[in-house]
Amino acid sequence: MACRICGSEGHNARTCPQLPVPQNDAGEDYVVWARYGGLSKSQAKDIRNGIENVVDEKAPESYGVIAAGKASKMPERIQQAIQSSSREKKLLDDK
């Protein structure tokens, strides 16, 4: 499937090397933070993928980090996400 931004194969809009830098004339920088527990690994993966799909559709120019994995690893994952200064999309997940 071709990238929606540049039309090339081999990546998607979320990982496009030509991803535009967000322009926000109003000076707004809203953030979404959510935590869901009691999930199976499969449910967590499905929810993570659903979030990525909605973001690709609704805000393809945005950037962010998704932290997913075992509850015991979340403090570390959240700290990594907070320290991430990159304006790219990342996934912090258990391997």
The pTM for the full model equals 0.59
DSSP the chain: ---TTT--SSS-TTT-TTPPPP--TT-----------S--HHHHHHHHHHHHHHHHHH-TT--EEEEES-GGGHHHHHHHHHH---SSEEEEE--
Say which residues have a Cβ less than 8 Å from residue 9's Cβ, sequence separation at least 6. Answer: 1, 2, 3
67 φ, ψ (degrees, to nearest 5): -105, 120
Maximal CA-CA distance, the chain: 41
Decide: 56 and 13 in contact? Cβ < 8 Å.
yes
Q: What is the pLDDT of residues 59-85, one digit of tens each?
A: 888 878 888 888 888 888 888 777 765
Query: Is the confidence at residue 92, as pLDDT, over 70?
Result: no
